């Protein structure tokens, strides 16, 4: 049954996770202002405890579990960042965590999970393969599921970052958010729009995996085929049933980002804003560079940087390609 998350849920989540995650600062990106003639800001969740916003939802979910559910241990499937969030929260609370990651997960994310004491199982290459393996293990072991995007408690936790944006920049005009499974965008959109409805919210998904754009066209959640993308954290083909109603209600635009512009955007963020981010975090700036949505002259625009867990080799390859 679908449960719609609202501002009160997000405020309760903020109180629940307070002191366990960072209130990341809102940073000016003035070196990028001249790209669009706008006032650029960043919400840098790459500076979060585990290098990603995912710890917010994972922590809120695990703290919302009953003692019996925690005692069974938790299990999650992830491309890496959600897994690290679950591993961190579980370690903090003394809970066993089992994590199913893709066989091609970035080494930094795999090592991050193991260093936090979690059991890591590498399986398959897409979210469907991973979740099939997860359900198989869950049926055998009885672990409690901490879903990576389609869960109301998780959505509320992710939405706390949207509350922080509105607290730190109450007169923001546009907020641009990466879109994978949709938990982040759903939570941020609810927090932003229920605080100030006039703020424009833009979701950005990989050009070859446009599940939410297609869902909006169909008027219901749909599944799309997996396509290639540099944004490994956004490689999900299924639209979350708990996320879709919030995204459909509150998100003004859903636009794509192509790989060539993701590379360019990552370089702009790393070398001009001096922030280390992963490709998935750069899709908002990429879509703006690609002119897939209009940045209005003079507006205050906040780009959500979702994470910074990138392997050194991948970053070196990006730099080599862009400077060749």
Structure tokens at 24: 């990341």
Tell me: do 105 and 181 sit in the same domain: no
The answer on pLDDT for 43 being more than 90 is yes
Write the pLDDT tens digit of every residue in 163-173: 999 999 999 99
Q: Give every CB contact of residue 23 below 8 A, 6+ residues apart in sequence.
A: 164
Residue whose C-alpha is closest to residue 13's, from 48, 55, 65, 60: 60
* Structural domain for 269, as ranges: 7-49+160-323
Residues 58 and 23 in one domain: no
Instruction: Spell out where 16-139 has E strands.
Output: 27-28, 39-44, 74-77, 97-101, 119-122
Pick from 91, 110, 145: which residue ends a domain?
A: 145
317 and 177 fall within a common domain: yes
pLDDT recorded at residue 127: 81
Same domain membership, residue 208 and residue 129: no
> In the prediction, which pLDDT does 322 show?
78
What are the φ and ψ backbone dihedral angles of 142, each rounded to 5 degrees? Answer: 80, 20
pLDDT at 109: 86
In a domain, 153, yes or no: no
Q: Are residues 202 and 293 in the same domain?
A: yes
Identify whether residues 129 and 271 lie together within a single domain.
no
Classified as helix, coil or strand, 120 is strand
Residue among 181, 188, 153, 187 at smallest CA distance from 60 = 153
CA dihedral angle for residue 171, residue 174, residue 176, residue 181, rounded to 10 degrees: 90
- Looking at the fold, whether 255 and 139 belong to one and the same domain comes out as no
Residue 90 belongs to some domain of the structure:
yes
- Mean pLDDT score across all residues of the chain: 95
Domain contains 121: yes
Pairing of strands 39-44, 74-77: unpaired
Q: Check the CA dihedral 129-69-8-282 and report its sign.
A: negative
SS in 3 state form for 141-177?
A: HCCEECCCCCCHHHHHHHHHHHHHHHHHCCCCCEEEE
pLDDT tier for residue 106 given thresholds of 50, 70 and 90: confident
pLDDT at 1: 60
As for how many domains the chain has, the answer is 2
Q: What is the pLDDT of residues 250-304, one digit of tens each?
A: 999 999 999 999 999 999 999 999 999 999 999 999 999 999 999 999 999 999 9
Residues 137, 188 share a domain: no
Model confidence at 130: pLDDT above 70 = yes
Q: What is the CATH number for 131?
A: 3.40.50.1100
**Separation CA 182–CA 238 (nearest Å):** 10
Give pLDDT, residue 251: 98
> Is residue 80 predicted with pLDDT exceeding 90?
no
pLDDT digits (tens, 9 = 90+) for 223-244: 999 999 999 989 989 898 999 9
- Do residues 45 and 66 share a domain? no
Q: Residue 223: beta bridge partners?
A: 238
Sign of CA dihedral 190, 148, 211, 217: negative
Per-residue DSSP letters for 184-195?
Answer: HHHHHHHHHHHH
**What DSSP designation does 242 have?**
T
Half-sphere exposure of 103 (CA within 13 A, CB side): 5
> Which range has the worst mean pLDDT, 9-18, 70-79, 246-255?
70-79
Lowest mean pLDDT among 23-37, 113-127, 178-192: 113-127
Tell me: do 167 and 312 sit in the same domain. Answer: yes
Separation between Cα atoms, residue 155 and residue 130, nearest integer Å: 21
Could you tell me if 59 and 43 lie in one domain? no
pLDDT in tens, 206-222: 999 999 999 999 999 99
- 169 shares a domain with 87: no
In terms of Cα–Cα distance, which of 5, 97, 2, 110 is closest to 59? 97
């Amino acid at each position: 049954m679908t449960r719609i998350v609202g501002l009160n849920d997000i405020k309760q989540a903020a109180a629940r996770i307070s002191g366990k995650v960072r209130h990341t600062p809102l940073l000016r990106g003035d070196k990028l202002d001249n790209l669009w003639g706008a006032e650029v800001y960043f919400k840098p969740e790459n500076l979060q405890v585990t290098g990603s916003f995912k710890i917010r939802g994972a922590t809120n979910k695990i703290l919302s579990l009953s003692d019996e559910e925690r005692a069974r241990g938790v299990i999650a499937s992830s491309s890496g960042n959600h897994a690290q969030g679950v591993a961190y929260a579980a370690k903090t609370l003394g809970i066993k965590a089992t994590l199913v990651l893709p066989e091609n997960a970035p080494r930094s994310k795999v090592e991050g999970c193991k260093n936090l004491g979690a059991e890591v199982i590498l399986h398959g290459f897409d979210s469907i393969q991973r979740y099939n393996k997860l359900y198989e293990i869950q049926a055998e072991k009885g672990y409690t599921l901490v879903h990576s995007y389609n869960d109301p408690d998780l959505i509320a936790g992710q939405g706390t970052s949207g509350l922080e944006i509105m607290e730190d920049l109450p007169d923001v005009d546009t907020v641009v958010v990466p879109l994978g499974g949709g938990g982040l965008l759903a939570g941020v959109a609810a927090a932003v729009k229920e605080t100030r409805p006039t703020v424009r919210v833009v979701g950005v998904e990989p050009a070859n995996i446009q599940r939410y754009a297609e869902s909006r066209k169909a008027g219901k959640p749909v599944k799309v085929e997996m396509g290639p993308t540099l944004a490994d954290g956004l490689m999900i083909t299924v639209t979350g049933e708990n996320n879709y109603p919030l995204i459909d209600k509150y998100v003004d635009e859903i636009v794509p980002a192509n790989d060539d512009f993701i590379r360019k955007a990552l370089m702009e963020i790393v070398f001009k804003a001096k922030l280390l981010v992963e490709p998935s975090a750069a899709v908002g700036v990429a879509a703006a560079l690609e002119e897939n949505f209009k940045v209005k002259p003079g507006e205050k625009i906040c780009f959500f940087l979702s994470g910074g867990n990138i392997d050194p080799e991948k970053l070196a390859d990006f730099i080599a390609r862009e400077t060749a």
